[in-house]
Amino acid sequence: MKNKNVLITGANKSIGFETARELGLLGYKVWLGSRDHDRGQLAVNRLTKDGIDAQLIIIDVTNMLSINEAARRIQHEDGKLDVLINNAGILGSHDVAPGEQPIDDIMAVYDTNVFGLIRVTQAFIPLLKCAQNARIIMVSSGLGSLKWVSDLNHPYSRVQAMGYTSSKSAVNAITVAFAKGLMAEGISVNAVDPGYTATDFNGHTGYRTVAEAARGIVWLAAEANADITAGFYFDQNRAPW
């Protein structure tokens, strides 16, 4: 993808890193977002060894100064952003009954998963408007699907993580809001469920590999029709909200 670039938050490991690797191999310039410099630089070094044009960009989605500095840097060096992938997220307390999960914990989850996503998206809209057929991808979760979690026969209904699951439901709603708001600008906005993937996030208990998880994200970023917007996808198929 000549002259196209992508910013991925939380990309120094797991699904974010694999997404960066696959898009980099497709020819995208990768802005690898990481809160931690050393971990981020190690990830960038791995990508550059594969011949990928990758740059570390320090970004903490809970810190507006960090976000604005990242936006200024990309503005200065590239003048546009073709793809924004909001991947950063935290789990918070889990296996805790809703009546027992501390409010402070839920607020921390929302600060990253919901407000962080909004902060980053709003900050980069001007750069996305400077690209043709720009795309925004929200990495959500099947646990955010109200249909799935309310179905007592579905395995997701047995997960106790109110802060996380409700934050991903909010991500889905935010996806629709941004999609409608940016439709006239030609910017597509979609959410994607990577599936239950073996990562540090879940103690590597997931049944999917990071490559399988990244496939749907890469598809939305590089292969799906540019006019697809306001959707929630799992493995290139529409998932229920």
pLDDT tens digit sequence for 100-149: 999 999 999 999 999 999 999 999 999 999 999 999 999 999 999 999 99
**Parallel, antiparallel, or unpaired for β 232-234 and 188-192?**
parallel
3-state SS class at 160: coil
Q: What is the set of active-site residues?
A: 164, 168
Q: Is the pLDDT at 201 greater than 80, yes or no?
A: no
Mean pLDDT of 208-233: 95
Cβ atoms of 34 and 40 within 8 Å: the answer is: yes
Of 179, 142, 178, 182, the residue nearest 158 (C-alpha): 142
Mean pLDDT (the chain, rounded): 94
Backbone angles phi, psi at 174, to 5 degrees: -65, -35
CB-count burial class (<10 Å; 0-12, 13-18, 19+) for 162: buried
CB 80 within 8 A of CB 5: yes
Asked whether the predicted pLDDT for residue 198 surpasses 50, the reply is no
Terminal CA-CA length for the chain: 31
**Rounded-to-10 torsion of CA 114, 115, 121, 124:** -150
- Inform me whether the pLDDT recorded for 194 exceeds 90: yes
Residue 223 reports pLDDT greater than 60? yes
CATH of the domain at 9: 3.40.50.720
Contact 144, 171 (CB under 8 A): yes
Strands (E), the chain: 5-8, 29-34, 54-58, 83-86, 135-139, 188-192, 232-234, 237-238
What pLDDT is recorded for position 210? 87
pLDDT at 208: 80
Model-level pTM greater than 0.75? yes
Per DSSP, the three-state class of 57 is strand
β-pairing, 135-139 vs 29-34, is: unpaired
User: Do the beta carbons of residue 36 and residue 13 sit within 8 Å?
Assistant: no
Q: Which amino acid is at 123?
A: A
Residue 154: which domain range? Answer: 5-238
* pLDDT in the model for residue 15: 94
CA distance 229 to 241: 14
Total tally of structural domains belonging to the chain: 1
Q: What's the pLDDT band for 195 if we cut at 50, 70, 90?
A: confident
